Structure 1
Amino acid sequence: MGARRLLPRNVIVLSWVSFFQDAASELLYPVLPLFLTVTLGAPASVVGLVEGVAEGTASVGKAVSGRLADRFRRRPLIAAGYGVSSVAKPLIGLASGWPVVLGARFIDRVGKGLRTSPRDALIAAETPPAMRGRAFGLHRAADTAGAVVGPLLGLALYELLDHRLRPLFFVAAIPAVVSVALIALVREHPPPPGAARPPGVPLRRLPRPYARVVAFLALFGLANFSDALLILRAHALGLGFVGIVTAYALYNAVYAALSYPAGVVSDRLPRRLVFAVGLAAFAVAYLGLGLAGESTWVWPLFAVYGAYTALTDGVGRAWVANLLPPGALGTGLGLYQGVAGACALTAGIWAGLAWGGTGRVPLLVSGAIVTVLAATLALGGRRLER
């Protein structure tokens, strides 16, 4: 707790903002694939399309908002992004066909794209470089704690509401609105009166080590498809709604528990090595889910998958931020997030089309590719940072 007290106030406040917003989002996330395929009768390829377009939309927004974050005040961008996402969630509950869900997810991800890069830039700018692993780790831990509370709340409401899915989309608006209200506690120092607005940083002037690291992470992104398809795999292995939500809550609990320790470790060891261990966990989870023949394997493999996310999400942001000059934090983090999202779009589409009846093929292909990437980063990753 002592280390956490040393972190800036805004890091703490933004962690709570993300907690409530993610509680709202993750209340719905394990429900959405079942809502699409069972309630609305859409095929698995539509799940991949919806989530791919959603992440692709967010990726473009992150790149644009990152450049804005280096020129304008960041708190208004953060507030607008969370506000847009809060409005979009209940729209899904009104859907009578999957195109409406696609439109609502598009709106939701516009909000995510608008807020993510300014928020991450604000966290990085206010935290000393040697503590950024802790700062992003704490933020990801709080964010993911919301992702534990959300699915469990959704499960309880599912039972109370006689197994109806639609009302859950309206309930999710409540914690989302709380998260928007908390942004009022963020304190951002305005520029001095009459100060010139900072010019945008040309992309060609971003450091070469940054470009090499982002290129490597893009390769990984092409193999990292939406978690919604992992939920479909768990369903194909025999888990029902209750089992899926509980397994997803387990994934998020492991993610939340390990995020801050992973950030602390990444402040002491090379972040590329921590990230490489995370990629190894990813490969184990994907290969295991591809090879599994019964539902009991879902539980340990989702836990391993939670470890992967904890070892890469906040660590990756801190890794990238430390490769950037102070005046390019928004631009660089936004471009990184944008590239990752564009790769997620590609991965979601190809995996959804290749899914078939069970999803074994894309899981095994991605797992094999990431095994190679993990070994490459662990053994030769130093060259990326030169």
Structure 2
Amino acid sequence: MYLATTGRRPDAPPRPAGVGRRVPGTVVALGAVSLVTDVSSEMVTAVLPLYLVLGLGLSPLQFGFLDGLFNGATALVRLLGGRIADRGSGRHRTVAGAGYLLSALSRLGLLMAGGAAGGIAAALAADRLGKGVRTAPRDAMITLSAPPETLGRAFGVHRAMDTTGALLGPLVAFVVLWATADAYDAVFVVSFATGLLGVVVLGLFVPADPSAPPPRAASTRPVPSAPPSTVPAEGPTATPAADGPAAPAAGPNAAPGPAGPAARSTSDPAFRRVVAAAALLGAATVGDSFLYLLLQRGLDLSAALFPLLPLGAAACYLLLAVPAGRIADRAGRRIPFLLGHGALLAAYLTLLAPSGLPTAVLVLVLLGVFYAATDGVLMALAAPALPAAGRASGLAVLQTGQALARLVGAAGFGAAWTWWGPRPALVAAALALAAALTAAWRILPGRKARR
């Protein structure tokens, strides 16, 4: 894994003790957890649309509603997870670990559900609950362990490792299905065992204090020593080299103000604009599962080959995540975020072209560009506006707003597909995303001058 570095101006102030040019070890450790967990989750994600739509006979409307409902409704749990994580030192890891464990156990739920709709719904709900609980504390640990001017790179490295798991997951699912003659139960068993391994890695290698190095540091580069109390994660002189307001002068263990961490997290006007823009764009975003189903129909792929479709997007995301983070740190995070959604719009338009292998490849590449330029970049764009003591709560608000908006987008596209057909639905989605991009361009806060 290539960990990008950036140069420093000759007149730049010295870095705080413990902050080297390499990505912090805590970020790498969290990336390892995400890598293993994504192998588990993407195994199921890769076969789930086929299992539900072709295996159990759900209509696109039913699948879209089910997928959107659990992605959106259970996103409210992110708020609870973020608030609990912010209430005391060391809770970030505990809350994230509970989420990872719940998602792993949901694979057993799919295994025991058989074809029962209620059991499948409960298992999907448990998986989404686990993801909702763990995401904000995990991302908060990344922001608290990395200096604000390198957040784009830190998230790029984490997302690249995460995407490595997303790349391997469908491949493992394909191998399991091939070896077991399309036995979905075998996929669920392997996914459960891999998910438990991710929980073990979290407990062994991620420190309870996000600002402390993990048990096995990723870098052996020597750094000057200093008392822990004099090394804040973000000091008063820290300024992000990107869009958005300067980071508040608060360390990772700063006590919340009278209004509490959640209220302080959402009080910044620039942060609220980021939340509004992310929600607006999310409402115009079609779920990946629908794009893969459209490609499968256009190419007439067999059930055994369907899990390979996400590999193209994941490979492109893996290659571009770190470069996109570096560009965002240097040139500003607003423009890459908007250009990423422009790539998604191009993918929608490409799907309207005649079906064929070149069309499919281009769609998967554009989908990978979209995630590389938006996923971690959005967190890096919003984090400097949040106080350290309310970081998880604030990121949970952002992620919840985006997820609820995507509920509307997934259910709406599923309904349009059922009533109008796939092509008119895709045209409507492209028009909606173009309008959302125009509005987001005006809503997102502009780049702040560096000090």
CA distance in 1, matches of 2:42, 2:271: 31
Aligned residue in 1 for 2:399: 337
Aligned-pair CA distance for 1:326: 2.0
Counterpart AA for 1:179: G
Q: 2:95 aligns with which of 74, 77, 80?
A: 77
Structure 2 residue ranges without an equivalent (≥5): 6-20, 212-227, 229-252
Change (3 A) 1:169 1:12: same
Contact kept, 8 Å, 1:239 with 1:295, in 2: the verdict is no
Contact kept, 8 Å, 1:27 with 1:150, in 2: the verdict is yes
CA distance in 1, matches of 2:275, 2:436: 14
Q: 2:425 aligns with which of 339, 362, 365?
A: 362
Counterpart AA for 1:274: P
Larger Rg: 2
CA distance in 2, matches of 1:247, 1:12: 27
CA distance in 2, matches of 1:22, 1:239: 24
Q: 1:347 aligns with which of 406, 409, 412?
A: 409
Change (3 A) 1:370 1:214: same
Aligned residue in 2 for 1:65: 81
Aligned-pair CA distance for 1:164: 2.2
Aligned-pair CA distance for 1:157: 1.2
Contact kept, 8 Å, 2:171 with 2:311, in 1: the verdict is yes
Counterpart AA for 1:374: L
Change (3 A) 1:57 1:181: farther
Change (3 A) 1:2 1:353: closer
Aligned residue in 2 for 1:56: 72
Is 1:165 aligned with 2:184?
A: yes
Change (3 A) 1:196 1:227: closer
Q: 2:206 aligns with which of 181, 186, 201?
A: 186
CA distance in 2, matches of 1:86, 1:17: 13
In structure 1, the residue corresponding to 2:75 is in which secondary structure? helix
Aligned residue in 2 for 1:144: 163
Aligned residue in 2 for 1:124: 143
Is 1:319 aligned with 2:335?
A: no
Aligned-pair CA distance for 1:279: 1.0
Aligned residue in 2 for 1:271: 333
Q: Residue by residue, what CA displacement relative to the aligned partner does 1:22-55 show, whole Å, maximum 9, x if unpaired? A: 0111111120011112221221122112211221
CA distance in 1, matches of 2:161, 2:321: 9
Counterpart AA for 1:46: Q
TM-align CA RMSD: 2.4
Structure 1 residue ranges without an equivalent (≥5): none
Change (3 A) 1:328 1:108: same
Q: 2:127 aligns with which of 108, 117, 120?
A: 108
Change (3 A) 1:380 1:106: closer
Q: Residue by residue, what CA displacement relative to the aligned partner does 1:103-131 show, whole Å, maximum 9, x if unpaired? A: 11101111111111011111101110001
Q: Residue by residue, what CA displacement relative to the aligned partner does 1:327-361 show, whole Å, maximum 9, x if unpaired? A: 22111101000101111111111111111285223
Change (3 A) 1:83 1:381: closer
Aligned-pair CA distance for 1:206: 2.0
CA distance in 1, matches of 2:210, 2:293: 47
Contact kept, 8 Å, 2:78 with 2:132, in 1: the verdict is yes
Contact kept, 8 Å, 2:178 with 2:304, in 1: the verdict is no
Q: 1:12 aligns with which of 28, 38, 43?
A: 28
Aligned-pair CA distance for 1:384: 9.0
Change (3 A) 1:271 1:223: same
In structure 2, the residue corresponding to 1:206 is in which secondary structure? coil
CA distance in 2, matches of 1:190, 1:221: 29
Q: Residue by residue, what CA displacement relative to the aligned partner does 1:136-173 show, whole Å, maximum 9, x if unpaired? A: 11111111110110101111111110122232111111
Counterpart AA for 2:340: G
Number of residue-to-residue matches in the alignment: 383
Aligned-pair CA distance for 1:99: 2.9
CA distance in 2, matches of 1:321, 1:209: 11
Change (3 A) 1:380 1:108: closer
Aligned residue in 1 for 2:269: 208
Contact kept, 8 Å, 2:177 with 2:304, in 1: the verdict is no
In structure 2, the residue corresponding to 1:6 is in which secondary structure? coil
Q: 1:230 aligns with which of 288, 291, 296?
A: 291
Change (3 A) 1:137 1:163: same
CA distance in 1, matches of 2:361, 2:178: 22
Out of 374-383 and 229-238, give the one that drifted further: 374-383
Out of 203-212 and 336-345, give the one that drifted further: 203-212
Contact kept, 8 Å, 1:247 with 1:299, in 2: the verdict is no
Structure (1/2) with the larger helix percentage: 1
Superposition map of 1:272-287 within 5 A = 272-287=334-349
Identity %: 32
In structure 2, the residue corresponding to 1:355 is in which secondary structure? helix
